[in-house]
Chains A and B, each alone.
Chain A
Amino acid sequence: MRRCKSQKIFPVLASLALLSACGQNTETDTDSQLANVELPSGMTVKEQIEARQDHLKQIGKAFKTISDQLKTDRPDLAQIQAAAALVPKEAQGMADWFPEGTGPESGVETEALPVIWENKSDFNDKVGAMQDAAAQLNTAAQGGDVAAIASAFQTTGGKCKDCHDKYREDD
C-alpha cells in the first residue's frame, strides 16, 4: 500500500495546484451585460448560445450512437435509424443560431469564433452542406444498407468538420 501512496502523490499534488489555478478566473455573469441583450428571436444572447450548444450536443450524441453501431459486427439498424432521423431535426435552422452578438464578445462561454461573422455567407453555405448531408444520411439509414449508411455518415462527419476547423475554437 505504501507504493500506491508514493505513486499517486505527484499527480495528485500537481492536479490540486492546477485545479486551484483554474478556479481563480471563473467569470461571473454580471461582468457581461451583453449576455442578456434580447435578440430579434426573442431569446437573450445567453439563451441563444446555450440553445445552439444543446442542439449541437444532441447531434454529437446521435453521431456517437451511429458510430458505435457501425463499429460493431452487427449494427442495430433501429438505433441507427432513430439517431439519423434526429440529426436533420436537431440541425434545422442552424444558420439562424448565430445572430450578430452571439460570439465570444458576449462574455458567454462559446467556442464560436468571431471569424463566423466576417464570412457569414461561407459559414451559411457550410451549414447548408451539412444539413444536406444529414438529410442524405437519414435517407440512407431508413434504407437500411449498412455500407451506404457508413459512407453517408463519413460524408456528414466531414461536413461538420469543414465548419468546425474554420469557425470553432480549437480546444
Chain B
Amino acid sequence: MANEPARILVWDGAVRLVHWLMAILVPLLWWTAEEGHMDWHKSFGLTMFGLVLFRLLWGFLGTWTARFGPMIGRIWSLNSYIGKLRRRESASTFGHSPMAVLSVFAMLLTLLTQVTTGLFSVDVDGLDSGPLALMISFETGRQFAEIHEFNFNLLAALIGLHLAAIAIYQFVLKEKLVGAMVTGRRSRADFPVAPETENRPSVCAMIAAALLSLACVFAISDFG
C-alpha cells in the first residue's frame, strides 16, 4: 500500500451533481412560477422530479455518506454532537453530521412533496396543469396546487436554515463545508476518527439509478 492520501472523498460525484443542480433549479422554479412561464416551470419541475428520485435511489445504492441507513444511525448521537458544538470542540463528521441528517431528510421530504404535488397541480384558470392532473378533477387539482404553494414556503424556510447553518460553520466554527461539496474532498486530518470506508461509488449502481429515474420522468412526461 502506498501512503494514505492526504485528501479523502467525502461526497461522491453523484451527490455533488444532484446537489448543485437542485441549488440551481429551485430558484429557477420559483422564478418561472412567479412570472408565469409555465412551460419552463414544467420542464424544470420534471427535471427536479428526476433528481429527487435519483437521490432517493442513491440513498440505497450510493456511497456510504450518501446512504440513508448510516445517516439514520447518526441521529442517535445528536445530543452529544450538539454538546461538542457548544464546547467548540472539533466535531467534524465524515459525511452528514447528526443535525445535517435531520436537515437532509426534511429537505428531501419537502422536495418530494413539492414535485409530487406539482405533477397533479391545476392553475386557477384551468389552463396550465401538471402531467398527472389528467387523472383528477379541477377541484382536486386546485387542492394539490394549494399544497404546492404552501409547501414551497416550508422548502424555502429549510433552505434558509441550511444556508444559515453553512454560514455558522464557516465563520463561527471555522469548518469550510462549501469547498467539500464542490471538490468532494476534505483533508484526512480534519477528522478525529478515521473513516472506515473508501466511499467509492459503484458505476453500475449509478447507471441503474440514473436510468430508472430517467425512465420515470419520461413515462410521466409522456402521460400528459
* Known A11-B110, A60-B138: A160·B68 in contact at CB below 8 Å: no
Residues 55-98 of chain B: 1 if any A CB is under 8 Å from the residue's CB, otherwise 0?
A: 00000000000001000100100000000000000000000000
- CB of B118 closer than 8 Å to a CB of A: no
- CB of B187 closer than 8 Å to a CB of A: no
* Known A3-B72, A15-B154: A61·B105 in contact at CB below 8 Å: no
User: Number of B interface residues, CB 8 Å?
Assistant: 31
Question: Are A71 and B102 in contact, with the CB atoms below 8 A?
Answer: no
> Nearest Cβ distance between residue B82 and chain A, in whole angstroms?
15
- Cα–Cα, bound, A154→B73 (Å): 53
Question: Are A18 and B153 in contact, with the CB atoms below 8 A?
Answer: yes
Q: Which residues of A contact B211 (CB under 8 A)?
A: none
List A residues 89-144 near B (Cβ within 8 Å): none
* Known A60-B124, A68-B129: A11·B224 in contact at CB below 8 Å: no
Task: Point out the residue from A10, A57, A64 that lies within 8 Å of B106, measured CB to CB.
Answer: A10
Q: Which residues of A contact B149 (CB under 8 A)?
A: 171
* Known A3-B68, A3-B72, A72-B134: A64·B109 in contact at CB below 8 Å: no
Residues 8-34 of chain A: 1 if any B CB is under 8 Å from the residue's CB, otherwise 0?
A: 101100110010000000000000000
- CB of B194 closer than 8 Å to a CB of A: no
- Cα–Cα, bound, A72→B113 (Å): 26
Q: Which residues of B contact A15 (CB under 8 A)?
A: 150, 154
Residues 76-94 of chain A: 1 if any B CB is under 8 Å from the residue's CB, otherwise 0?
A: 0000000000000000000
- Kindly state the interface size class of chain A when it binds its partner: 20 to 34
* Known A3-B72, A6-B75, A10-B102: A68·B134 in contact at CB below 8 Å: yes
- Cα–Cα, bound, A149→B63 (Å): 52
- CB of A52 closer than 8 Å to a CB of B: no
- Cα–Cα, bound, A5→B83 (Å): 23
Residues 146-161 of chain A: 1 if any B CB is under 8 Å from the residue's CB, otherwise 0?
A: 0000000000010011
List the A residue with the shortest CB-CB distance to B113. A11
List B residues 136-172 near A (Cβ within 8 Å): 137-138, 141, 149-151, 153-154, 157-158
* Known A11-B106, A15-B154: A64·B129 in contact at CB below 8 Å: yes
- Cα–Cα, bound, A59→B64 (Å): 53
Question: Are B72 and A64 in contact, with the CB atoms below 8 A?
Answer: no
List the A residue with the shortest CB-CB distance to B149. A171
- Cα–Cα, bound, A6→B157 (Å): 18
> Nearest Cβ distance between residue A116 and chain B, in whole angstroms?
17
Question: Are A68 and B105 in contact, with the CB atoms below 8 A?
Answer: no
Question: Are B133 and A60 in contact, with the CB atoms below 8 A?
Answer: no
Question: Are A14 and B126 in contact, with the CB atoms below 8 A?
Answer: no
Task: Point out the residue from B106, B126, B150, B157 that lies within 8 Å of A62, measured CB to CB.
Answer: B126
Residues 119-133 of chain B: 1 if any A CB is under 8 Å from the residue's CB, otherwise 0?
A: 000101111110001
- 10 pairs across A/B with beta carbons < 8 Å? A3-B68, A6-B105, A8-B109, A60-B125, A64-B126, A64-B129, A64-B138, A65-B126, A157-B127, A160-B125
Using a CB–CB cutoff of 8 Å, the interface residues on chain A facing chain B are 2-3, 6-8, 10-11, 14-15, 18, 57, 59-65, 67-68, 71-72, 157, 160-161, 164-165, 171
Apart from A18-B150, A164-B125, 11 more pairs, CB < 8 Å: A6-B105, A7-B106, A10-B102, A10-B105, A11-B110, A11-B113, A11-B154, A14-B154, A61-B137, A64-B138, A160-B125
